[in-house]
Structure 1
Amino acid sequence: MAQLEVLYNAECPICRREIEHYKRLSGDDLAYVEITAQTAADWGLSEDQAAKQLHVRRGAQISVGVEAFVAIWRQLPYFWILAPIVNFKPIKAVSSVIYRRFLAPLLFAAHKRRRRRGGAAGS
């Protein structure tokens, strides 16, 4: 089975902090890929598309948003118990709406503001 790759926005302080936590727990079980123009293109995305939501990939299969979180959590100690709960259809539906309509857009808007201010490198 191919390794799960996580495409994440290292310029986002919240995203970076969460991924750093996952890295400590996962060891070499997951591959973490920072978003750049090249890595986004390798995934068939623009940088903005990649930064709008969390993406994971195993082989050719890409998952986005809550499905990406569930895929990561399945492989992490402690979090594995959360994965089936969030993946339960009613919870997943509500979580996906909250993530897609509120959380991800807020994080992306903050990302764009940081970039406009030129604070991307030091955020």
Structure 2
Amino acid sequence: MSRVTTVWYDGACPLCIREIALMRKLDRRDAINFIDIATPATSCPLDRQLMLDRFHASEDGQILSGAAAFAAMWRAIPVMRPLGQVARIPGVLPILEALYKQFLKVRPHIQKRFKPID
């Protein structure tokens, strides 16, 4: 199967690393191309800082951000697909995006609680 979903993540963020590790385990079909953009040597399709500040993914060639990016990642993983499909119900994605924006406000405090994975 060719990968149609790409996920860009901050490999310098202990919280992000843990989340991506879980998604990799769940991605048994190897359907997602995970790209660590923490190092400047890695090319980014958008501004690097923008991509580090918000979660980004591409689905079928379209770059998505925030809750829409999470929903795309979930749809690529069979066990998570129902949650990703729920995000397609009219009115659900704006609610998920509002929750994501609230999470972004507390994310720095949460990140401080996680130690880097060795």
TM-score (normalizing by structure 2)? 0.77
Query: Which 4+ runs in 1 deviate beyond 6 A?
Result: none
Q: Which residue of 2 aligns with 1:88?
A: 89
Listed as ranges, the matches of 1:1-80 within 5 Å are 3-27=4-28, 28-35=30-37, 36-39=39-42, 41-46=43-48, 48-58=49-59, 60-80=61-81
Partner Cα distance (1:84, 1:3) in 2:
16
Equivalent residues of 2:3, 2:33 under 8 A apart: no
1:110 to 1:51, Cα distance in 2 relative to 1, 3 A: farther
| Per-residue deviation, 1:106 | 2.8
Equivalent residues of 1:8, 1:34 under 8 A apart: yes
1:7 to 1:20, Cα distance in 2 relative to 1, 3 A: same
Equivalent residues of 1:2, 1:58 under 8 A apart: no
Alignment gaps of 5+ in structure 1: 115-120
Partner Cα distance (1:75, 1:122) in 2:
27
Alignment gaps of 5+ in structure 2: none
TM-score (normalizing by structure 1)? 0.75
| Per-residue deviation, 1:59 | 6.2
Identity of aligned residues (%): 22
Aligned Cα RMSD in Å? 2.6
Q: Which residue of 1 aligns with 2:99?
A: 98
* Count of residues in correspondence between the two structures: 112
